[in-house]
Amino acid sequence: MRVMLAEDSALLREGIRSLLTDEGHDVVAAYGTADELLSRLAAERPDVVVVDVRMPPTHTDEGVRAAVQIRERWPEVGILVLSQYVERQFAQVLLGDGARAVGYLLKDRVMGVDDFLDALDRVRSGGLVLDPDAVGQLFRDTTHRLEMLSEREREVLGLMAEGRTNAGIVRALFISTSAVEKHSNAIFDKLGLLAEDGYNRRVLAILRWLES
């Protein structure tokens, strides 16, 4: 896998570079600013970009804006965002853009190397990866429709937001496939999402609580 990094912490940047290189990935470039990343992306053509949200010069949203530009100009490139914060606006952008080949992980919540590498592979394969804690924080901002969901339904919706299939949810919660389907249908019903051709109700469910 060809990977480009944008992370202003030199220690973290070099740590991720070493980790990915040791795992056999090709880290084609690693920069400390979003501008450097964008200036070289067309030439390097990575499979996935790993980008921090807050970088120089203002340390506010440089990484966010870079990620949006990458998605617009090079939609084939996967984007894995690493942040210390839950950036609600960026999550909306992620989910409003087809919700594919993107990931959002909180740095302090990445507990193991395998978890990070798995997220990278899933983004490379076109999947959606969201940190469960980030999802939980966003859940707390929802309105009455989401408050209608049971605790188990919230867990199922959170795992959907991580990009898991029904089979993946079965394994994570130790419940049956029929139970997952039952909870999914309850979520869609409570959020008022009808089965219509051309729409992904999983994505719409996440968008609903972001928009409410």
In terms of pTM, does the model score above 0.75?
A: no
Please indicate, yes or no, whether residues 193 and 135 belong to a single structural domain of this protein.
Answer: no
Res 94: pLDDT: 60
DSSP H helical segments within the chain, as ranges? 10-22, 34-44, 62-73, 88-95, 113-124, 132-139, 144-147, 151-161, 166-173, 177-190, 201-211
**105, 139, 173 - which closes a domain:** 139
Q: Which domain holds residue 49?
A: 2-139
Residues 6+ apart with CB under 8 A from 115: none
Q: Provide block-wise average pLDDT over 10 residues at a time, the chain (212 residues).
A: 94 92 94 94 94 87 84 90 73 60 81 85 86 61 69 86 84 92 88 65 71 56
Res 204: pLDDT: 74
Distance CA 113, CA 212 (A): 35
Please indicate, yes or no, whether residues 14 and 112 belong to a single structural domain of this protein.
Answer: yes
- Contact 99/91 with Cβ under 8 angstroms? no
What are the Cα distances from residue 12, in Å, to 18, 61, 184?
10, 19, 38
Res 13: pLDDT: 93
Token pair for residue 38?
A: 């964008």
Please indicate, yes or no, whether residues 100 and 19 belong to a single structural domain of this protein.
Answer: yes
Q: What is the CATH number of the domain that holds 67?
A: 3.40.50.2300
